[in-house]
Structure 1
Amino acid sequence: MSEKKQIKQKSAFREWIDSVVFAVVAATLIRFFFFEAYTIPTPSMESSLMVGDFLFVSKLHYGVRTPKTPLQVPLTHQKIWGTDIPSYLRWLDLPIKRLPGFSDVKQGDAVVFNVPNYSPDGDAPVDLRTYYIKRCIGTPGKTLEIRDTQVYIDGKPMENPPKLQHEYILKVKEQLTEEFFEEHNIYNGIDATGQSNANWMEVNLTAQDSLIGGLHDYIVNTYQGNIDEFKKMKSFVSVDLLKAAKNTPDGQDGMTNDDGATPMFGSSYIWNRDNYGPLLIPSKGLTIKLDSGNVDKYKYIIKYYEDNKNVVIDGHRIMIDGKTITSYTFKQDYYFMMGDNRHHSADSRYWGFVPSDHIVGKAVFIWMSLDPNKNFLSKIRWNRIFRFVN
């Protein structure tokens, strides 16, 4: 008489554990190979992308990037949730490679990347540094210049994003309400974390009563479509673009970015946020001569991003292993990134080029948008849900 083996039934707890493990593994694989969720925390891309937008970022477009730090708690970034404990170990430090993708990074793409070394978490591994999202303005091998707020690539004006923002002084004959500004997507200084940003608040929603004629002056950060609407108002008087003068360092005429920083190369070339360059963007295999006229443009690339050892910067000299170099061949591509909110964006103008191994993916889809300025019942921006990113 043969005995039939009894198949042991899994307990409810074991089935729950298996389900959780499967979900974590599946989510980790999807996040690594396909898409990752991202939230817009700052106004640097307004009005194209708003604070409180939730995005899907495609890893497939530019190719999946292999991890530099594989020993990491799944579904974390730098810290274990709710703690200050690092979520990774540095026991394995691998070279970053990239699998084939659908396309290269193109001019005009909204790109998510790990912010370069200047940031407070600059000591973190490249793949675990803070995420930023900006628009790619300059691609490898191109020459970028900003003249009077307009970007030029290889001497030709770049087509601006439809909702490119600048600062303006709006002068009207009536006092405008906060609801008026909300209708035009101009908000006071509340970011996605609920924290007030005093600088942004002063810029976007400040009324200055004029002593002459009872006029009202508003400093607004907005795009051309809104400016055209303002000009149709019965109370409209004038609107003027606030811009930095050429050959004037940021700050001398009151024009700075939010944290008062000066442009990356401004101390050497007297560039500012609205007048910048010309600047050649490095590409892999490109060889340049190094002299007093351009060392400041490329010294940090050579020291921090090219995996060179024993680099010493001494004024206008760069030494590798004790030898002064007079030319250099770049080992990877670089990009120039800028926010669409041009007067309120910390970007490549302030911290330099973005190396190709810092690129995470392309922002493709807004799946949810929550207005941090509204209460619970009216928080969802229904008109922004399920929209592709332009």
Structure 2
Amino acid sequence: MGKVILVTLLIVLLVRSFFLESFSVSSAQMEMTLLRGDKILINKTAYGIRMPVTLLSIPFTFDKIFGIKSYSTALQAPYKRIFARGVDRGDIVLFNNPLETDKPLDKRSLLLSRCVALPGDSMRVENGLFIINGRSYSGCPNTAEEYSFKASAKKELDDIAKELQISIPVGTVRGDSVITHLSKYDAFVLNESLSDSLTLVPCKKDTLKSHTFLIPFKGKIIDLNESSLVVYKQIILQEQEGKDVKIEGGELLIDDIRQVDYTFEDSYYWMLSDNSIHSTDSRSIGFIPFSSIVGKASLIWHSSDENGTRPERCFSSIK
């Protein structure tokens, strides 16, 4: 009996480490595509298998047990991925937060977002809008955005929404307007029924206003100047961790040697959450390195809320 239990645990650990892992959605970041209470399967082979970095860790535990770390950094393996394949545009991806450089790569907090720009793409951020390769990014129909409507139109809008079986969340009153959040599809349907009733509230969470830049890829060489250092400073600091890196007077110095250009050591992606109101994604943490990517969200295997199981969402694919 003991052997059976041990073998079973080893198989589960192997599958969880290299092939499939369950992830519980606990935030509104990907609403309306993924809801709080969804339990999803992450395909860890979708982009190649990332080998463990932290070798001394207690299996099946969170990063801390009773406030004490469940892993040790005494034995660390270099980053390695076998059968590597790039992320596809539109994939919903689970990745480690690249800004948590005080933790090992595979022990950083996990985030879930949609990949909207690939290595080599041209990106422009302007007044909260994203223009990728010359085309405005509008998101998927489930993308949640903030909309405003006149308080005087609330009853008429509520009546139409009830008729169309659309739920309008309780909003925040600002002057004579009400601010609420809806999916792009629901907002479109409501506006078709009651012309121009809803107005999109632009997202203010952009970090690189009115600036065009390239999504870097491994081996890409860029000239260094004040402008490029502003855009890629975070990447350079992360890639050159452990070295003496300084940016002085618009110049980059690595171990006191002035650099006139820079070659990227990893490929990067731009991730945006479907819910722009409640999100931690590239708007706030910047470029996402390929090394940080864990896998692809592929299936909702269970879903529940305060009212119990949501059977219509169980065993449904993720798009």
Does residue 368 (structure 1) correspond to residue 302 (structure 2)? The answer is yes
Distance verdict in 2 for CA 1:207–1:135, change over 3 Å: closer
Task: Determine the structure 1 residue equivalent to 2:251.
Answer: 317
Task: Determine the structure 2 residue equivalent to 1:347.
Answer: 281
Per the TM alignment, residue 150 of structure 1 is displaced from its structure 2 partner at its CA by 4.9
Distance verdict in 2 for CA 1:47–1:173, change over 3 Å: closer
Task: Determine the structure 1 residue equivalent to 2:18.
Answer: 33
Give me the whole-angstrom Cα distance separating, in 2, the residues matched to 1:333 and 1:123. 21
Distance verdict in 2 for CA 1:226–1:308, change over 3 Å: same
Which segments of 5 or more consecutive residues in structure 1 lack a partner in the other structure? Answer: 1-14, 187-203, 212-216, 245-254, 258-262, 266-270
* SS class of match (2:49): coil
Give me the whole-angstrom Cα distance separating, in 1, the residues matched to 2:32 and 2:311. 16
Task: Determine the structure 2 residue equivalent to 1:139.
Answer: 118
Q: How does 1:80-95 map to 2 (within 5 A)?
A: 80=65, 83-95=66-78
Task: Determine the structure 2 residue equivalent to 1:230.
Answer: 190
Task: Determine the structure 2 residue equivalent to 1:50.
Answer: 35
Count of paired positions: 313
* SS class of match (2:55): coil
Give me the whole-angstrom Cα distance separating, in 1, the residues matched to 2:174 and 2:244. 59
Root-mean-square deviation (CA, aligned residues, Å) is 2.6
Q: How does 1:175-254 map to 2 (within 5 A)?
A: 176=158, 184=166, 204-206=169-171, 208=173, 217-231=177-191, 238-243=197-202
Letter matched to residue 174 of structure 1: K
Q: How does 1:153-192 map to 2 (within 5 A)?
A: 153-158=132-137, 160-171=139-150, 172-174=153-155, 176=158, 184=166
More strand as a share of residues = 2
Does residue 337 (structure 1) correspond to residue 271 (structure 2)? The answer is yes
Task: Determine the structure 2 residue equivalent to 1:65.
Answer: 50
Task: Tell me the alpha carbon deviations over residues 256-297 of structure 1, each in whole angstroms, 9 at most, x when there is no partner.
Answer: x5xxxxx444xxxxx1xxxx5322111000000010121111
Note if contact 2:111-2:280 (Cα within 8 Å) is conserved in structure 1: no
Note if contact 1:164-1:341 (Cα within 8 Å) is conserved in structure 2: yes
Note if contact 2:114-2:271 (Cα within 8 Å) is conserved in structure 1: yes
* SS class of match (1:365): strand
Distance verdict in 2 for CA 1:344–1:207, change over 3 Å: closer
Higher Rg of the two aligned structures = 1
Letter matched to residue 239 of structure 1: L
* SS class of match (2:112): strand
Per the TM alignment, residue 31 of structure 1 is displaced from its structure 2 partner at its CA by 0.6
Give me the whole-angstrom Cα distance separating, in 1, the residues matched to 2:115 and 2:259. 30
Per the TM alignment, residue 99 of structure 1 is displaced from its structure 2 partner at its CA by 0.9
Give me the whole-angstrom Cα distance separating, in 1, the residues matched to 2:145 and 2:60. 37
Per the TM alignment, residue 308 of structure 1 is displaced from its structure 2 partner at its CA by 5.8
Give me the whole-angstrom Cα distance separating, in 2, the residues matched to 1:359 and 1:30. 17
Task: Tell me the alpha carbon deviations over residues 28-49 of structure 1, each in whole angstroms, 9 at most, x when there is no partner.
Answer: 1011121011111111111111
Task: Determine the structure 2 residue equivalent to 1:385.
Answer: 314
Task: Determine the structure 2 residue equivalent to 1:104.
Answer: 86
Note if contact 1:306-1:331 (Cα within 8 Å) is conserved in structure 2: no
Distance verdict in 2 for CA 1:218–1:383, change over 3 Å: farther
Per the TM alignment, residue 315 of structure 1 is displaced from its structure 2 partner at its CA by 5.0
Q: Percent identity?
A: 32
Q: How does 1:219-298 map to 2 (within 5 A)?
A: 219-231=179-191, 238-243=197-202, 255=204, 257=205, 263-265=206-208, 271=209, 277-298=211-232
* SS class of match (1:331): coil
Task: Give the alignment's TM-score, normalised by structure 2.
Answer: 0.89
Task: Determine the structure 2 residue equivalent to 1:303.
Answer: 237
* SS class of match (2:302): strand
* SS class of match (2:81): coil
* SS class of match (1:294): helix
Task: Determine the structure 2 residue equivalent to 1:357.
Answer: 291
Per the TM alignment, residue 20 of structure 1 is displaced from its structure 2 partner at its CA by 3.1
Of 87-96 and 223-232, more deviation after overlay is shown by 223-232
Letter matched to residue 170 of structure 1: F
Note if contact 2:118-2:215 (Cα within 8 Å) is conserved in structure 1: yes
Give me the whole-angstrom Cα distance separating, in 2, the residues matched to 1:296 and 1:308. 21
Note if contact 1:296-1:316 (Cα within 8 Å) is conserved in structure 2: no
Give me the whole-angstrom Cα distance separating, in 2, the residues matched to 1:381 and 1:326. 57
Distance verdict in 2 for CA 1:116–1:315, change over 3 Å: farther
Task: Tell me the alpha carbon deviations over residues 80-108 of structure 1, each in whole angstroms, 9 at most, x when there is no partner.
Answer: 3xx1111111111111110105x420111
Note if contact 1:306-1:330 (Cα within 8 Å) is conserved in structure 2: no
Per the TM alignment, residue 207 of structure 1 is displaced from its structure 2 partner at its CA by 5.5
Note if contact 1:302-1:308 (Cα within 8 Å) is conserved in structure 2: no
Work out which of the residue numbers 47, 60, 64 in structure 2 matches 1:79. Answer: 64
Letter matched to residue 59 of structure 2: P
Which segments of 5 or more consecutive residues in structure 2 lack a partner in the other structure? Answer: none
